């Protein structure tokens, strides 16, 4: 049986595959790096959360979550120590490797080993929205899901979340409108690389 590159070794200590890291450039010329989240990202992740509006939090988590709860150490450290067999958390950073390295967006894939589909969610810092960061991150999440051997990528969005619906539509996702105020975005993943 063929095994995926994401089905190895020990839980929680699995190294993220190197091919998930890569440079990107926004239309305005800003240089970014997309990479897997790391344990030392915890303070950066806390700063990222402090810059999120209530609206962005609601659209990402479907409920209000107070900042104090979002930046609690137990929660952030769990998010920063990923088990890459079941989840692939990616961050988009500016100033990579420098003293002011800043997280601009966080995205996450979840998959049950052996299942053909992965689920994604992402959020871009409010100050960086509408500059192309979401498109860069979603393209990279698609690629990560493909590398993980998945053939379908799914996301759940609020029906009111038109920016995310538009982004998904532009990336080729089909949108399925449910009756409960949620929309499922679905993309079939073909083997091989897909243009960003
Ligand atoms: C939805 C979200 C991820 C988009 O990220 P972004 O970095 O602003 O998106 P981009 O700049 O890459 O824009 C990509 C496309 O999305 C659409 N879009 C993004 N923001 C939009 C807005 N406010 N209004 C209308 N369309 C918008 C546009 O089609 C845009 O392309 P275009 O302007 O060239 O036509 C971001 O607004 C966000 O983090 N929202 C809160 C969290 C969330 O909704 N997560 C989704 C649940 S999984």
The number of domains in the chain is: 1
Q: Is the pLDDT of residue 111 over 60?
A: yes
Summarize the confidence of residues 32-38 as an average pLDDT.
Answer: 96
CA of 179 to the centre of ligand 1 (A): 23
Nearest CA to ligand 1 atom 10: 132
Q: What per-residue confidence (pLDDT) applies to 19?
A: 83
pTM, 2 dp: 0.91
Protein residue whose Cα sits closest to atom 20 of ligand 1: 163
Q: Does residue 60 have its Cβ closer than 6 Å to ligand 1?
A: yes
* Residue 84 pLDDT: 87
CB of 63 shorter than 6 A to ligand 1:
no
What is the tens place of the pLDDT at every residue in 4-26?
555 443 444 466 766 889 999 99
Residue 9 lies in a domain: no
CB of 134 sitting under 6 A from ligand 1: yes
Q: Is the CB of residue 107 below 6 angstroms from any atom belonging to ligand 1? A: no
Spatial separation of the C-alpha atoms in residues 47 and 176, rounded to whole Å:
34
- pLDDT tens digits, one per residue of 42-79: 999 999 999 999 999 999 999 999 999 999 999 999 99
Which ligand 1 atom lies nearest to the CA of residue 156? Answer: 48
Instruction: Report the pLDDT value the prediction gives residue 99, as an integer from 0 to 100.
Output: 93
Dist. CA 8 → ligand 1 center (Å): 34
Domain that holds residue 56: 22-188
Establish if 90 belongs to a structural domain.
yes
* 105 inside domain: yes
In a domain, residue 11? The reply is no
Q: What CATH number is given to the structural domain containing 66? A: 3.40.630.30
**Closest C-alpha residue for ligand 1 atom 1:** 164
**Interval between CA 100 and ligand 1 midpoint (Å):** 25
Average pLDDT over residues 106-125: 95
CB of residue 61 inside a 6 A radius of ligand 1 = no
3 domain-assigned: no
> 27-31, long-range: CB within 8 Å, 24+ apart, which pairs?
27/131, 27/132, 28/131, 28/132, 30/94, 30/131, 31/94
The answer to whether residue 57 is domain-embedded is yes
Identify whether 101 is part of a domain: yes
Is 62 a domain residue? Answer: yes
**In the predicted model, what is the mean pLDDT of the chain?**
90
Say if ligand 1 is within 6 A of residue 155 CB: yes
Pairing mode, if any, of strands 152-158 and 174-177?
unpaired
């Amino acid at each position: 049986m063929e095994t995926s590159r994401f089905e190895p070794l020990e839980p929680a200590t699995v190294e993220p595959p190197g091919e998930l890291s890569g440079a990107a450039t926004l239309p305005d010329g800003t240089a970014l790096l997309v990479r897997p989240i790391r344990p030392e990202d915890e303070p950066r992740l806390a700063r990222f959360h402090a810059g999120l509006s209530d609206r962005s939090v609601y659209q990402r988590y479907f409920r209000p979550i107070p900042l104090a709860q979002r930046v609690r150490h137990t929660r952030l450290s769990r998010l920063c120590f990923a088990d890459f067999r079941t989840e692939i958390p990616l961050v988009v950073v500016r100033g990579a490797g420098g003293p002011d390295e800043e997280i601009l967006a966080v995205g996450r894939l979840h998959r049950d080993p052996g299942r053909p589909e992965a689920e994604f969610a992402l959020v871009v810092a409010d100050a960086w929205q509408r500059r192309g960061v979401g498109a860069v991150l979603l393209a990279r999440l698609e690629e990560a899901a493909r590398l993980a051997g998945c053939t379908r990528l799914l996301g759940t969005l609020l029906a009111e979340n038109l920016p995310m619906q538009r982004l998904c539509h532009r990336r080729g996702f089909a949108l399925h409108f449910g009756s409960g105020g949620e929309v499922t975005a679905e993309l079939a993943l073909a083997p091989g690389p897909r243009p960003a």
